[in-house]
Structure 1
Amino acid sequence: MESVDSILGTRGDHLSGKRIVHCITGSVAAMHAPGLARELIRYGASVKVVMTPSALRFVGADLMHWASGNPVVTELTGASEHISLAGLVPPDRRSSAIVVAPVTANTVSKIASGIDDTSVTTVVSVAIGSGIPIFLAPGMHEPMYRHPILREHLERLKALGVTILSPLMIEGKAKMAGVEAILRSVVRGVQSGEWMEKRVLVTSGPTFEPLDSVRMLTNPSSGKMGSSLAREADLRGADVTLVSGPGSHCEVVGIRTIKVRTTRDMYQAVEAELSRVRYDFLFAAAAPADFTPDVPKNGKYDSRSAVSIALRPLPKIIDMVKEISPATFLVAFKAEHGLSEPELRSRASERLSECDGDLIVANDVADSGKGFGADVNEVWVLDRKGQAVHLPAAKKEALSRRILDIALERSRSLSAIQR
């Protein structure tokens, strides 16, 4: 279907080859269902939609047909849709997950009690018996969500292995989790592969060094590259921690984040994390300030007078990584300005050697359309042997996927040599 073909896999292949059954019940949050279906498709999924009669009062079947690219199941017929969608069918036709978003209090209690009187409850009942992963995203008024019997039913479903996506408590309502949170849970829930067992630390964004009580020394980093790396590793199933400076794009849904302000804050946070647990990978994508005033002024400099400020260099965060955690695979980042490609690669290789890193990602920020603050970047990825991979200009989300792929491949090779 044209509406689906144009967006299939445009944001990633995490759900490529997966069939997701999107069930919708009668909550006002059903207005978000088309967006969720489209987002699942953007990550590669084939989406089949099942709706209750009450859901049809909020969202039309024709709209969901357009959104998913597939006919919508609104009632069960002699075709036994509940079996074809959630039964023990051959692997090539088996659904990968059932997502009920939104799910009402009524439907939660029916599922928990084994009542199969709608197309949605019957599909979920069969899925529980078939061992298919199930995700429920409640949406209702807050008092209904706090009802002791509903809470009991939710706990009963959790005990059966059903994933409950906690709603957002806003204005007296238990609002359905956002599309991003639902997508993250589903993608992680159906993932398999090497990243599932990896612990990843990412630094992101700029840092601020105070010049006086109101001014600061910083750079244009937005944190987009670091947050893209953290999000991609998280979607692949890794256990991710993000150490984030005050950039405008340094927040990632669902990821443990340590907020910092100064370079010393970031240094200490990374040092503490590496000392606390063993990280398999560290992606040092942050752009911390390299200098700080000897003595920041208490108060505000008079803007009508010339000012001379003595700066001193700050310690480099990546230089201490291998000292604390030699086994951590270190991916350093280096930004330069106005260099030729050979010069850029040469300086990157030199810096990689200095920090004893495993890979370095280098880019030239002279082009305002790439690098700092931009959605697009063009980089070189170099290893210790001097091998270089050029990643042409692309969105940072796409670059993050390639960088993770290269890092995993190189870490495998390194592990094989060490064995």
Structure 2
Amino acid sequence: MLDGVNVALGVSGSIAAVKVVELAHELRRQGAAVRGVMTESAQGIVHPWAVEFATGNDVVTELTGSVEHVELCGREGWADVLLLAPATANTVGKIAGAVDDTPVTTCATTALGADLPVVVAPAMHEPMYDHPGVLDAIERVESWGVDFVDPRIEEGKAKIATEAAIVTAVARATTEQSLAGRRVVVTSGATAESIDPVRIITNRASGKTGRAVARACRVRGADVTLVHDGGDVHYAETVTVESAAEMREAVLDAVGGDRGGDGSDEGDAPAADALVSAAAISDYTVERADEKLRSGESRTLDLEPTPKLIDGVREAYPDLPIVGFKAETSGDDGEMIEAARGILTRSDLAFVVANDASVMGDDETRTLFVDAAESVEFAGTKAELGGEIANRLATTLRD
């Protein structure tokens, strides 16, 4: 996600500075090179040697005749982005007032003057975060194009955002915004059909691919709605569903939105620009028993086919770009391509991502991108696949 990106990591004196070692490791795991910059207060919480170990580079703890702030964040500087994590109320206020009395605030002033992307992850006690002056400072700095990663409000504290949320913000700040202004609906995970109040029929889908697609679309500037089977997600508006019927209803609602522009659903134009249907939706449902079925008895379940989601969306929105998925178990590429072309034609899809079902739950995958003209193989992580799907979607929408 951050391959080849140089991150200048500014650390100020919040107790959340204890998390900077793991944050630096995560940035590097995602492909970034990291160099640390610390205030004097931060050095009282975490030793510069720890940051040096985590980043693999010397840490700037004071500004010298080497003009470290310019070398890092100037117009010809080393960094592609300045990340301030954690940023205290004091640091945010100083940046808003162009006060340069620490290595971190001086790097911020230099970066803003050089049009370098800046990402800020604040951390402080909640009353400080709610102070009118702090809120005004955040609003002012945001008006300069700085991206703030919202803190987690817990236990009376505005705790620093998760590492995943911060990495996503850094990636968004350093990635071409090829989906800016677009609204994308993504489905993810498995659906489940109730047999009785405690038993369900479901499948082995993990939702990793759908979540990766949603995150990749967000990184490229899209507003994303993720319709899925649950879990904590920081990069999209989410709708949690269980059954195929609930997913169908939620997707139609998310795609449609306020189609009339006046709070109504009048009109045929969807609010969404595209649908990526990555979820493994149940093909069959059963009539649910009102009470728990007794165990130890033979049972026969009558399986009823569920309506195809993409067919329903296509009927409602004939011109909406839709990306479909097709999982097969044969292991034969020719059969996968044939099956993918079948739904490509039936539902007039932009392209289909075909794969062998054996990769369900894995982090690595191998797929075939199938469209009307060709089939192209992809192999890599599901995170990388999400990026490839988002790139192809951006091309589809541009064309």
TM score, norm. by length of structure 1: 0.85
Kindly indicate whether the alpha-carbon contact (under 8 Å) linking 2:168 and 2:215 is maintained by their aligned counterparts in 1.
no
Partner of 1:147: 131
Residue of 268, 273, 277 corresponding to 1:280: 273
1:261 partnered with 2:242: yes
Partner of 2:350: 358
**Offset of 1:309 from its aligned partner?**
2.4
Q: Distance in 1 between matches of 2:217 and 2:144?
A: 28
Residue of 24, 34, 54 corresponding to 1:47: 34
Residue of 380, 402, 414 corresponding to 2:368: 380
Question: Cα RMSD between the aligned structures?
Answer: 2.3
**Offset of 1:284 from its aligned partner?**
0.9
The one-letter amino acid of 2:239's match is: I
Partner of 1:403: 389
Q: Distance in 2 between matches of 1:159 and 1:64?
A: 31
Q: Distance in 1 between matches of 2:61 and 2:41?
A: 10
Q: Distance in 1 between matches of 2:81 and 2:276?
A: 31
Partner of 2:212: 228
The one-letter amino acid of 2:111's match is: A
Give the SS at the match of 1:54. helix
1:290 partnered with 2:271: no
Give the SS at the match of 1:196. coil
Q: Distance in 2 between matches of 1:40 and 1:305?
A: 54
**Offset of 1:281 from its aligned partner?**
2.8
Distance 1:363 1:131, change over 3 A: closer
**Offset of 1:64 from its aligned partner?**
1.8
Q: Distance in 1 between matches of 2:98 and 2:367?
A: 54
**Offset of 1:251 from its aligned partner?**
4.1
Kindly indicate whether the alpha-carbon contact (under 8 Å) linking 2:227 and 2:251 is maintained by their aligned counterparts in 1.
yes
**Offset of 1:411 from its aligned partner?**
5.7
The one-letter amino acid of 2:33's match is: S
The one-letter amino acid of 2:329's match is: H
The one-letter amino acid of 2:368's match is: W
Distance 1:110 1:317, change over 3 A: same
Q: Which runs of 4+ in 1 moved over 6 A?
A: none
Q: Distance in 2 between matches of 1:137 and 1:47?
A: 16
Q: How does 1:78-157 map to 2 (within 5 A)?
A: 78-87=65-74, 89-90=75-76, 93=77, 95-157=79-141
Q: Distance in 2 between matches of 1:399 and 1:133?
A: 26
Give the SS at the match of 1:194. coil
**Offset of 1:257 from its aligned partner?**
1.0
Number of corresponding residues: 387
Q: Distance in 2 between matches of 1:85 and 1:331?
A: 41
Percent of paired sites with the same residue: 38
Kindly indicate whether the alpha-carbon contact (under 8 Å) linking 2:8 and 2:83 is maintained by their aligned counterparts in 1.
yes
Residue of 165, 170, 193 corresponding to 1:186: 170
**Offset of 1:339 from its aligned partner?**
5.1
**Offset of 1:407 from its aligned partner?**
4.2
Q: Distance in 2 between matches of 1:210 and 1:22?
A: 49
1:172 partnered with 2:156: yes
TM score, norm. by length of structure 2: 0.89
Distance 1:145 1:324, change over 3 A: same
